Amino acid sequence: MHEEVTHPCIQHKLALIRDIDTGHKMFRELATEITMFVCYEALKNIRVKEVDVETPLTTARCHMIDEDIVVIPILRAGIGMLDGILSLIPSARVGFVGLERDEETAQPATYYEKMPLQVKNGISIIIDPMLATGGSTVAAINMLKEQGAGRIVVVCIVTCPEGLAAVHEAHPDVNVYTASIDPGLNEKKYIVPGLGDAGDRLYGTK
């Protein structure tokens, strides 16, 4: 399953983040803001428990999140979404997976990995702004499943039909939430119209 979260507030911010004239400071701020909106939607079905809270007047039956949540940014561009999701779930644990696409072949290579044990019983949320061919996301999901992860969700900012198909084919149990499903990939496997190289735009490299 995948869901494109198309609220006007997200569409407005997407227009700004795509713009070639948006510099790295504003790009980072927009990535954080868009992430908050998309994650808000992605987290709508997480488990809650009932708690009684004493208000100044009486006892209120309330609900609080009842899941171990592990957020996994795919280095390096995924770090640009971390503040956004942690502002929604400040108690989340964070795991890291370092993956880099080869510029010629677009195949991902792993260079780092560190996961909290809680991926086994909790819900794992992979964050990466770009789900292009899907190679990096599928590799991250494979790694999490090897470590015993059960429930996995992917949140990105921009994807395309090719990336979604790759994830759904390899991992039909994993849901993907995105701010945009763009038309496709160019010959260099970049999403078009996309927003360019997310890592470079976030960190001001190149």
Residue 19 Cα distances to 13, 31, 78, 203, angstroms: 10, 13, 20, 16
- At residue 2, φ and ψ (nearest 5 deg) are -135, 155
Closest contact distance (angstroms) between CB of 77 and ligand URA is: 6
Q: Residue 77 or residue 176: which is nearer to ligand PRP going by CB?
A: 77
Q: Which of 73, 95, 122, 134 binds ligand PRP (CB under 6 A)?
A: 134
Residue 96 near residue 110 (C-beta atoms within 8 A): no
Closest contact distance (angstroms) between CB of 93 and ligand URA is: 26
Strands (E), 90-206: 93-94, 96-101, 108-114, 123-127, 130-131, 151-155, 158-159, 175-178, 180-181, 184-185, 191-192
Residue 153 touches which of ligand URA, ligand PRP, none (Cβ within 5-8 Å per kind): none
Residue in the structure block whose two tokens are 């080869």: 102
- Binding-residue pattern over the window 62 to 91 for ligand PRP, x denoting contact by CB under 6 A: ------------x-xx--------------
* Residues near ligand PRP (CB under 6 A), total: 22
In this chain, which stretch among 5-13, 19-27, 83-91, 123-131 interacts with ligand PRP, using CB under 6 A? Answer: 123-131
Site residues (vs ligand PRP, CB under 6 A): 74, 76-77, 99-101, 106, 108, 128-137, 163, 189, 198-199
